[in-house]
Structure 1
Protein backbone atom coordinates (compact mmCIF):
# COMPACT_ATOMS: atom_id res chain seq x y z
CA UNK A 1 0.00 0.00 0.00
CA UNK A 2 1.21 3.49 -0.81
CA UNK A 3 1.32 6.28 1.76
CA UNK A 4 -1.67 7.86 0.01
CA UNK A 5 -3.64 4.62 0.39
CA UNK A 6 -2.70 4.19 4.06
CA UNK A 7 -3.69 7.75 5.00
CA UNK A 8 -6.85 7.71 2.86
CA UNK A 9 -7.99 4.45 4.46
CA UNK A 10 -7.23 5.81 7.94
CA UNK A 11 -9.25 8.96 7.28
CA UNK A 12 -12.23 7.06 5.88
CA UNK A 13 -12.34 4.00 8.12
CA UNK A 14 -11.02 5.28 11.45
CA UNK A 15 -11.84 9.00 11.44
CA UNK A 16 -14.99 8.72 9.26
CA UNK A 17 -14.12 11.53 6.85
CA UNK A 18 -16.46 11.95 3.89
CA UNK A 19 -15.94 12.88 0.23
CA UNK A 20 -12.30 11.79 0.52
CA UNK A 21 -10.33 11.83 -2.71
CA UNK A 22 -6.74 12.06 -3.89
CA UNK A 23 -5.71 15.20 -5.78
CA UNK A 24 -2.95 14.95 -8.37
CA UNK A 25 -1.39 11.88 -6.64
CA UNK A 26 0.13 13.93 -3.83
CA UNK A 27 -2.52 15.20 -1.40
CA UNK A 28 -5.87 14.02 -0.04
CA UNK A 29 -8.90 16.22 0.41
CA UNK A 30 -12.00 15.54 2.44
CA UNK A 31 -14.42 16.59 5.13
CA UNK A 32 -13.78 15.48 8.73
CA UNK A 33 -16.67 14.12 10.76
CA UNK A 34 -15.99 16.78 13.39
CA UNK A 35 -14.20 20.11 13.25
CA UNK A 36 -10.43 19.68 13.67
CA UNK A 37 -10.12 22.86 15.73
CA UNK A 38 -12.54 25.05 17.60
CA UNK A 39 -11.92 27.85 15.05
CA UNK A 40 -12.99 25.74 12.05
CA UNK A 41 -16.50 24.94 10.93
CA UNK A 42 -17.51 21.29 10.76
CA UNK A 43 -18.05 21.44 7.00
CA UNK A 44 -14.56 22.80 6.21
CA UNK A 45 -12.67 21.05 3.43
CA UNK A 46 -9.28 19.85 4.69
CA UNK A 47 -6.14 18.86 2.79
CA UNK A 48 -3.88 16.08 4.06
CA UNK A 49 -0.32 15.53 2.85
CA UNK A 50 0.89 11.97 3.54
CA UNK A 51 4.52 11.48 4.55
CA UNK A 52 6.57 8.71 6.11
CA UNK A 53 8.07 9.35 9.53
CA UNK A 54 11.58 9.00 8.08
CA UNK A 55 10.92 11.65 5.44
CA UNK A 56 12.77 14.91 6.09
CA UNK A 57 10.56 17.86 5.15
CA UNK A 58 12.11 21.33 5.08
CA UNK A 59 10.20 24.60 5.26
CA UNK A 60 10.87 24.89 1.54
CA UNK A 61 9.25 21.48 0.95
CA UNK A 62 6.17 22.49 2.92
CA UNK A 63 5.99 25.80 1.03
CA UNK A 64 6.11 23.76 -2.19
CA UNK A 65 3.05 21.79 -1.03
CA UNK A 66 1.15 25.05 -0.47
CA UNK A 67 2.26 26.34 -3.89
CA UNK A 68 1.17 23.16 -5.65
CA UNK A 69 -2.24 23.32 -3.96
CA UNK A 70 -2.52 26.96 -5.07
CA UNK A 71 -1.82 25.87 -8.66
CA UNK A 72 -4.37 23.03 -8.48
CA UNK A 73 -7.16 24.88 -6.70
CA UNK A 74 -6.57 28.51 -7.60
CA UNK A 75 -6.48 29.34 -3.90
CA UNK A 76 -3.81 28.79 -1.28
CA UNK A 77 -5.12 27.11 1.88
CA UNK A 78 -4.21 28.63 5.24
CA UNK A 79 -3.17 25.24 6.56
CA UNK A 80 -2.67 21.63 5.60
CA UNK A 81 -2.72 18.52 7.72
CA UNK A 82 0.38 16.36 7.64
CA UNK A 83 -0.52 12.65 7.83
CA UNK A 84 2.65 11.02 9.17
CA UNK A 85 2.78 7.23 8.69
CA UNK A 86 4.98 5.33 11.15
CA UNK A 87 6.81 2.06 10.52
CA UNK A 88 4.01 0.06 12.17
CA UNK A 89 1.34 1.65 9.94
CA UNK A 90 -0.03 4.05 12.54
CA UNK A 91 -0.92 7.53 11.30
CA UNK A 92 -0.51 10.71 13.34
CA UNK A 93 -1.66 14.11 12.18
CA UNK A 94 -0.07 17.55 12.56
CA UNK A 95 -1.05 20.96 11.24
CA UNK A 96 1.27 22.93 8.97
CA UNK A 97 0.14 26.57 8.71
CA UNK A 98 0.89 29.16 6.08
CA UNK A 99 2.87 31.73 8.06
CA UNK A 100 2.62 32.39 11.78
CA UNK A 101 -0.52 31.89 13.82
CA UNK A 102 -1.48 32.96 17.31
CA UNK A 103 -1.55 30.00 19.73
CA UNK A 104 -5.02 29.01 20.89
CA UNK A 105 -5.99 29.18 24.52
CA UNK A 106 -6.67 25.82 26.11
Structure 2
Protein backbone atom coordinates (compact mmCIF):
# COMPACT_ATOMS: atom_id res chain seq x y z
CA UNK A 1 0.00 0.00 0.00
CA UNK A 2 1.39 3.38 -1.00
CA UNK A 3 1.76 6.10 1.61
CA UNK A 4 -0.54 9.13 1.59
CA UNK A 5 2.42 11.38 0.67
CA UNK A 6 3.28 9.13 -2.27
CA UNK A 7 -0.35 9.13 -3.48
CA UNK A 8 -0.58 12.92 -3.13
CA UNK A 9 2.65 13.29 -5.13
CA UNK A 10 1.34 11.00 -7.89
CA UNK A 11 -1.91 12.96 -8.07
CA UNK A 12 -0.04 16.25 -8.31
CA UNK A 13 2.22 15.01 -11.14
CA UNK A 14 -0.75 13.68 -13.14
CA UNK A 15 -2.91 16.72 -12.44
CA UNK A 16 -0.16 19.06 -13.65
CA UNK A 17 0.45 16.88 -16.73
CA UNK A 18 -3.23 16.87 -17.68
CA UNK A 19 -3.69 20.59 -17.09
CA UNK A 20 -0.48 21.99 -18.58
CA UNK A 21 0.48 19.40 -21.21
CA UNK A 22 -2.93 18.14 -22.34
CA UNK A 23 -5.18 21.19 -21.72
CA UNK A 24 -7.72 19.46 -19.44
CA UNK A 25 -10.08 21.68 -17.45
CA UNK A 26 -12.33 21.26 -14.40
CA UNK A 27 -9.78 18.90 -12.82
CA UNK A 28 -10.67 17.66 -9.35
CA UNK A 29 -9.34 15.09 -6.93
CA UNK A 30 -11.90 12.49 -5.83
CA UNK A 31 -11.62 10.74 -2.48
CA UNK A 32 -14.37 8.57 -1.11
CA UNK A 33 -14.84 6.01 1.59
CA UNK A 34 -14.34 2.61 0.02
CA UNK A 35 -11.64 3.82 -2.38
CA UNK A 36 -8.13 2.87 -1.32
CA UNK A 37 -6.64 5.87 -3.11
CA UNK A 38 -7.69 9.17 -4.66
CA UNK A 39 -8.76 9.41 -8.28
CA UNK A 40 -8.91 12.46 -10.50
CA UNK A 41 -11.57 13.53 -12.93
CA UNK A 42 -11.79 16.33 -15.44
CA UNK A 43 -12.76 17.48 -18.89
CA UNK A 44 -10.31 16.85 -21.75
CA UNK A 45 -10.18 19.36 -24.64
CA UNK A 46 -11.65 16.80 -27.07
CA UNK A 47 -13.53 13.52 -26.86
CA UNK A 48 -11.12 10.71 -25.95
CA UNK A 49 -13.19 7.56 -26.39
CA UNK A 50 -16.09 6.43 -28.58
CA UNK A 51 -17.58 2.99 -27.92
CA UNK A 52 -17.57 0.84 -31.10
CA UNK A 53 -21.38 0.46 -31.06
CA UNK A 54 -21.78 4.20 -30.52
CA UNK A 55 -19.48 4.77 -33.49
CA UNK A 56 -21.87 2.73 -35.67
CA UNK A 57 -24.91 4.63 -34.35
CA UNK A 58 -23.20 7.97 -35.05
CA UNK A 59 -22.32 6.96 -38.61
CA UNK A 60 -25.96 5.92 -39.25
CA UNK A 61 -27.28 9.18 -37.76
CA UNK A 62 -24.83 11.27 -39.81
CA UNK A 63 -25.94 9.47 -42.97
CA UNK A 64 -29.62 10.07 -42.15
CA UNK A 65 -29.05 13.75 -41.29
CA UNK A 66 -26.60 14.46 -44.08
CA UNK A 67 -24.28 16.28 -41.68
CA UNK A 68 -21.55 15.56 -39.14
CA UNK A 69 -22.52 15.15 -35.51
CA UNK A 70 -20.13 17.07 -33.23
CA UNK A 71 -18.40 14.94 -30.60
CA UNK A 72 -18.21 17.03 -27.46
CA UNK A 73 -15.71 15.96 -24.76
CA UNK A 74 -16.89 14.01 -21.73
CA UNK A 75 -15.73 14.21 -18.12
CA UNK A 76 -13.36 11.26 -17.53
CA UNK A 77 -11.97 9.38 -14.53
CA UNK A 78 -8.17 9.20 -14.12
CA UNK A 79 -6.31 6.76 -11.84
CA UNK A 80 -2.73 7.85 -11.02
CA UNK A 81 -0.34 4.93 -10.39
CA UNK A 82 3.43 4.55 -10.33
CA UNK A 83 5.12 2.23 -12.80
CA UNK A 84 6.59 0.15 -9.97
CA UNK A 85 3.20 -0.61 -8.40
CA UNK A 86 1.82 -4.11 -8.84
CA UNK A 87 -1.94 -4.13 -9.47
CA UNK A 88 -4.17 -7.17 -9.43
CA UNK A 89 -7.53 -7.55 -11.21
CA UNK A 90 -9.15 -7.49 -7.74
CA UNK A 91 -7.64 -4.06 -7.01
CA UNK A 92 -8.92 -2.65 -10.30
CA UNK A 93 -12.34 -4.22 -9.59
CA UNK A 94 -12.41 -2.50 -6.19
CA UNK A 95 -11.74 0.88 -7.84
CA UNK A 96 -14.52 0.28 -10.39
CA UNK A 97 -16.88 -0.78 -7.58
CA UNK A 98 -16.18 2.52 -5.80
CA UNK A 99 -17.13 4.84 -8.68
CA UNK A 100 -20.10 5.69 -10.87
CA UNK A 101 -19.82 5.40 -14.66
CA UNK A 102 -19.99 9.19 -15.07
CA UNK A 103 -17.78 11.33 -12.79
CA UNK A 104 -19.25 14.24 -10.81
CA UNK A 105 -20.12 17.11 -13.14
CA UNK A 106 -20.57 14.85 -16.15
CA UNK A 107 -24.29 14.26 -15.62
CA UNK A 108 -25.12 18.00 -15.60
CA UNK A 109 -23.20 18.44 -18.86
CA UNK A 110 -25.24 15.64 -20.41
CA UNK A 111 -28.57 16.93 -19.12
CA UNK A 112 -27.95 20.38 -20.60
CA UNK A 113 -27.83 18.90 -24.10
CA UNK A 114 -31.53 18.00 -23.64
CA UNK A 115 -32.75 18.25 -27.24
CA UNK A 116 -33.23 15.08 -29.28
CA UNK A 117 -32.43 12.77 -26.34
CA UNK A 118 -34.26 9.89 -28.01
CA UNK A 119 -31.60 9.48 -30.70
CA UNK A 120 -29.81 6.14 -30.37
CA UNK A 121 -26.27 7.56 -30.53
CA UNK A 122 -26.94 9.91 -27.60
CA UNK A 123 -27.74 7.00 -25.28
CA UNK A 124 -24.05 5.97 -25.22
CA UNK A 125 -23.23 9.13 -23.31
CA UNK A 126 -25.77 8.38 -20.59
CA UNK A 127 -27.34 5.08 -19.53
CA UNK A 128 -25.24 2.86 -21.81
CA UNK A 129 -21.88 4.37 -20.85
CA UNK A 130 -19.78 1.70 -19.21
CA UNK A 131 -17.29 2.36 -16.47
CA UNK A 132 -13.90 3.34 -17.79
CA UNK A 133 -10.81 4.90 -16.29
CA UNK A 134 -7.81 6.54 -17.89
CA UNK A 135 -4.88 4.85 -16.13
CA UNK A 136 -2.10 7.43 -15.67
CA UNK A 137 1.17 5.57 -15.19
CA UNK A 138 3.91 7.80 -13.75
CA UNK A 139 7.56 6.86 -14.30
CA UNK A 140 10.50 7.88 -12.10
CA UNK A 141 11.34 10.82 -14.41
CA UNK A 142 7.71 12.09 -14.13
CA UNK A 143 6.81 10.92 -17.63
CA UNK A 144 3.11 10.01 -17.67
CA UNK A 145 1.69 7.34 -19.99
CA UNK A 146 -2.06 6.90 -20.36
CA UNK A 147 -4.01 3.68 -20.99
CA UNK A 148 -7.75 2.99 -21.03
CA UNK A 149 -9.02 0.34 -18.63
CA UNK A 150 -12.63 -0.85 -18.67
CA UNK A 151 -14.93 -2.59 -16.24
CA UNK A 152 -15.65 -5.80 -18.12
CA UNK A 153 -15.13 -6.68 -21.74
CA UNK A 154 -15.34 -4.12 -24.53
CA UNK A 155 -15.24 -5.17 -28.16
CA UNK A 156 -12.42 -3.70 -30.26
CA UNK A 157 -12.88 -0.42 -32.11
CA UNK A 158 -13.20 -0.38 -35.87
CA UNK A 159 -10.81 1.88 -37.74
**TM-score category of the 2 structures, normalised to the smaller one:** 0.7 to 0.9
Residue 100, structure 1, aligned to residue 153, structure 2: yes
Q: Which runs of 5+ in 2 are unaligned?
A: 1-7, 32-36, 55-70, 105-128
Greater per-residue helix proportion? 2
Higher relative contact order (CA 8 A, sep 6+): 2
Asked which structure has the greater CA Rg, the reply is 2
Greater per-residue strand proportion? 1
What displacement does 1:77 show?
5.3
Calculate the aligned-residue CA RMSD, in Å.
2.3
- TM-score (norm: length of structure 2): 0.59
Q: Distance in 1 between matches of 2:85 and 2:140?
A: 12
* Selected match of 1:28 from 31, 40, 50: 40
- Count of aligned positions: 104
What displacement does 1:43 show?
2.9
- TM-score (norm: length of structure 1): 0.87
The 8 Å contact of residues 134 and 149 in structure 2, kept in 1 or not, is answered as: yes
Q: Which runs of 5+ in 1 are unaligned?
A: none
